[in-house]
Amino acid sequence: MLATRDLLQMGKGFERSNIASMAGYVPGEQLAGTGIIKLNTNESPYPPSPKVQAALAQITAKELRRYPQPTADDFRAAAASVHGVKSDQIIATRGGDELLRLLLTTFVEPGQRVGMTDPTYSLYPVLTAIQDASSVSIPLEDDWSLPADFAQRINAEGCVLTFIVNPHAPTGALLSQDTLEQIAKSLNGMLVVDEAYVDFVDNSEHDLTEWAVNTENVVLLRTLSKGYGLAGLRFGYGIGPADLISPMLYKTRDSYNLDMISQALAEAAIADQAYAKYTWQKVIKQRARLSLALNALGLATPHSEANFLLVTLPQQSKITAESLYLALKQEGILVRYFDHERMHDKLRITVGTDAENTVLLEHLTKLLA
Amino acid sequence: MLATRDLLQMGKGFERSNIASMAGYVPGEQLAGTGIIKLNTNESPYPPSPKVQAALAQITAKELRRYPQPTADDFRAAAASVHGVKSDQIIATRGGDELLRLLLTTFVEPGQRVGMTDPTYSLYPVLTAIQDASSVSIPLEDDWSLPADFAQRINAEGCVLTFIVNPHAPTGALLSQDTLEQIAKSLNGMLVVDEAYVDFVDNSEHDLTEWAVNTENVVLLRTLSKGYGLAGLRFGYGIGPADLISPMLYKTRDSYNLDMISQALAEAAIADQAYAKYTWQKVIKQRARLSLALNALGLATPHSEANFLLVTLPQQSKITAESLYLALKQEGILVRYFDHERMHDKLRITVGTDAENTVLLEHLTKLLA
C-alpha cells in the first residue's frame, strides 16, 4: 500500500494508478438536428409502446418528492412474469451497463482475470480496467465463430468471469443454447451472456432464461435500450440464480439506483410484450431486406441475428469504408465506422425503418456506382 | 490471487470475500398509504418547482428512443451557472450516492483507508466495504463537535480520502468554511464535503463552492433529493477542481449514467433558484418553530442547520424513544428511531410542513403528558 504522499509524488495526483493509466469509454456519435438518419448506435427505429406514453402522462412531478422503490419491485415482478422466473432471480439496473459493472464489483477481485472474445462490446475491457482486473481476449476465428476450445483457453488463463455477447456485437452471430451450456459447464468461473440484442433473433423460441436461473454460474443481461425503444430511459436487468442476483441486489447496487419515473415506464414497456414483438418482427424483416440489398451492391454482410449488419466492402472497391462513412454522414446518414485490429475498414449499420433503409440504399447505390 | 476453484471450495460461491462478509445498506422505511405523515427520511415537505412539472409535460415517450447526453452537459451548464463555476468542475450523478461510489472507485485502492466521523451517514462504511477499503471512524465529542485534532488523527491512520457530512447527519451541526479549510489543508488525502443538507443552513451566505474548485483535494457533494423536492428523481452532483472531476466524468462513471427525463427535470429544478430558496426559507422557519416546541415538551434538540432535528428524551422520561417512535407510527406518523452506539435511544425527525408539524406536536404533547 502506497502512502498518499507517495502517490502524489508520483505525479498522478489523487487518482488510482489503474484509473490514471486507462482510457475512458467513448460513446457513439450523437448528431443533433432533424432529418438525420441515425444508424450508428443500434437504437430501435420504432418508438416505445403507447403504454409507455400513457404511463408517462400519469406521472406528476409532486410524486418525485419521495424516494423510489429501492429494488424496483414492481418492475421485477413484471419482468419475472414475462420470463416465467421468480422476482429474486431478477435485478433491475440503470441500463445493461450498470449490471456489467455490478458483476465485476461483486464477483471479480482486483488483479483477477476476465474473459471475453475479440472483437466484442468495447465497454467490457474498460469496466474491467476500472475494477483493476485484467482482460483476457480470445480471438474469434476468421469467420467470426467462437474457437472450439474457448472455455479451455479461458480456464487456462484463470478467468473468474467471462462476458459473451449473444447475438454477437459487432457481427450479429448467434451462439445456440447447446453451445453456451457446454461453455458454462466447462468454465471454472462465471459466464455472463449479454443478450442486449436477443430480441431480434430469428427463432422466437430461442430463450435461455429457464436454463440461466437453474445454472449456478450464469447470468443473462437484458436491456430496454434496443428491443423496447428506450435507450434514453437507461433501464436493463439481469436474470440468473438468486445466489448470484442477491449480492448485487442487496449489497453492491447503489441503494436507490433507479428513479421513480423510469421504474414506472419500464414496467409499462415490458408488460406490453405484444407491441414489443411486433416491432422486433418489423426489424427482422427489414434486416433481411437490407442484407439482400447490400449484398446486391457487392457489400458482404455475415448472417446477423441482431438489429445491425457488419458490412465489408469488396477487396477491389474504389472507395474505402471510411470514405463511405464520411460520404453518408455528409448526406445526414450516420453509420458506425470501424478501423482497428480484427475490424479493419468495416461499417456497422443499424437496421432502420423501411423509409430510412430506402434512403440509405439509394445513397449507397449512388456512392458505389 | 486465489483460483476460482479455491474460492468455490471456501464455500462462498462466486462472491468476493469482502462482499460475502459485508452487510448491505438498509434504506429508510417507506410506508404506503395516504394520510401518512412521513418525517423519517429527510425528504422535502414541499413539491418540486412548477417548472419541473412544466418540463415533465413537455416530454414525449418517443424521445426516449435515443441515448441521452452521456455527460449531462445541459444540466452541468445550468449548475455551473448557478454556482459561478465552470462546467468541467461539475459532475452530474444518479443521486449523491453515485458520486460517493465514484469517489471511492476513482481515488481509493482496495486495502486503503477512508476517514469519517462517528456518527455519520451510514452509507459511507457500506460503500467503503464494497471497495474493499477500511473505514476509520473518529468519534465526535460528547457535544457532537469535531475533535480539534481530527485531521491529525486521520493522517496518522493513513486515510487517503475522508467524508465529512456538513451540515452533519444526524445532528444537523454545521462546520464553518474556516474549519473545513484548516482540515483540508492539514489532510494528506482528499476531503469530500457531503453537502446533502446545505440548502437549509441559516446563513444564506455560507457557500464553499469557490473555495472547493480552487482547492486541489476537495470535492463537494450536492443533491436534488432534499432541497429540491426530488428524492424520486435520483439526481445529485459533485463540485470540485477539474483534475478531480475529470477522471470520474470521463473514466469511472457508467457511460450513460443519467436518463433523458431526469436530466431535463433536474435542469428545470436547478434553474429555478427562486422557488428553491422560497422552500428552504419555509423549512428553516418550521425548523425553528419545531425545535422550540419540542424543547418546551422537554425534548432536547442540538442546534440543527439541516431539515431534521435529533431528539433526545429527558433522562427521567417515563417513555423510551423506541416506544415514542412506535406510538407515533401507530398514529400514521413516521420518524426515524436510532439505537446504536453513540446514538442511544434517540429520534431523528424530519421538518415537515406547518400542518404536519402541528399534528406531530399534538400527538407528542399527548404521548408525553
pLDDT tens-digit readout, B293-310: 999 999 999 999 999 999
- Which pLDDT score, from 0 to 100, does residue B266 have? 98
How close is the nearest chain B Cα to the Cα of A317, in Å?
A: 33
Closest CA to A186 of A218, A210, A219, A139: A218
The arithmetic mean of pLDDT across residues B22-28, rounded, is 91
In chain B, what residues touch A108 (CB-CB under 8 Å)?
16
DSSP A147: P
Where do we find the cell 419482468? A79
Q: Which of the residue ranges B9-23, B148-162, B175-189 would you say has the lowest mean pLDDT? A: B9-23
How close is the nearest chain A Cα to the Cα of B142, in Å?
A: 30
Tell me if chain B has a CB within 8 Å of the CB of A97: yes
User: Is B5's CB within 8 Å of A188's CB?
Assistant: yes
Residue ranges of B 35-64 with Cβ closer than 8 A to chain A: 38, 41, 43-44, 46-48, 52-53, 56, 59-64
Cβ contacts of B20 within 8 Å, gap of 6 or more: A247, B12, B13
Question: Cα separation of B32 and B225, whole Å?
Answer: 19
Q: pLDDT tens, B228-267?
A: 999 999 999 999 999 999 999 999 999 999 999 999 999 9
Question: Cα separation of B199 and B230, whole Å?
Answer: 14
The arithmetic mean of pLDDT across residues B329-355, rounded, is 92
Calculate the average pLDDT of chain A: 94
Report residue A11's pLDDT band, with 50, 70 and 90 as the boundaries: very low
User: Is B4's CB within 8 Å of A254's CB?
Assistant: no
In chain B, what residues touch A24 (CB-CB under 8 Å)?
250-251
Tell me if chain A has a CB within 8 Å of the CB of B33: no
Closest CA to A258 of B32, B94, B27, B64: B94
Other Cβ atoms less than 10 A from the Cβ of A354: the count is 12
Closest CA to A56 of B55, B56, B47: B56
Contact yes or no for B187/B162 (Cβ under 8 A): yes
What are residue A93's DSSP bridge partners? A236
Q: pLDDT tens, B95-120?
A: 999 999 999 999 999 999 999 999 99
- For B18, counting Cβ atoms within 10 Å of its Cβ (0-12 exposed, 13-18 middle, 19+ buried), the class is middle
- Which pLDDT score, from 0 to 100, does residue B6 have? 52
How close is the nearest chain A Cα to the Cα of B297, in Å?
A: 29
User: Is A53's CB within 8 Å of B61's CB?
Assistant: yes
Closest CA to B252 of A13, A97, A11: A97
State percent of chain A over pLDDT 70.
96
Tell me if chain A has a CB within 8 Å of the CB of B99: no
Contact yes or no for A117/A139 (Cβ under 8 A): yes
DSSP A57: H
Residue ranges of A 210-249 with Cβ closer than 8 A to chain B: 216-217, 225, 229-235, 243-244, 247
Question: Cα separation of A289 and B173, whole Å?
Answer: 67
What the block records as the C-alpha cell of A260 is 421513480
User: Is B259's CB within 8 Å of A44's CB?
Assistant: no
Question: Cα separation of A287 and A266, whole Å?
Answer: 26
pTM (2 d.p.): 0.95
What the block records as the C-alpha cell of B10 is 471456501
User: Is B233's CB within 8 Å of A260's CB?
Assistant: yes
pLDDT over 60 (residue A258):
yes
- Which pLDDT score, from 0 to 100, does residue A1 have? 40
- Which pLDDT score, from 0 to 100, does residue A123 have? 97
Provide ipTM, 2 decimals: 0.95
- Which pLDDT score, from 0 to 100, does residue A235 have? 98
pLDDT over 60 (residue B227):
yes
Write the CA distances from A16 to A108, B104, B209, B244, integer angstroms.
Answer: 18, 10, 25, 11
User: Is A47's CB within 8 Å of B61's CB?
Assistant: yes
Work out the widest C-alpha separation in chain A, in whole angstroms.
64
Q: pLDDT tens, A109-150?
A: 999 999 999 999 999 999 999 999 999 999 999 999 999 999
Tell me if chain B has a CB within 8 Å of the CB of A21: no
Tell me if chain B has a CB within 8 Å of the CB of A297: no
Report residue A12's pLDDT band, with 50, 70 and 90 as the boundaries: low
- Which pLDDT score, from 0 to 100, does residue B369 have? 87
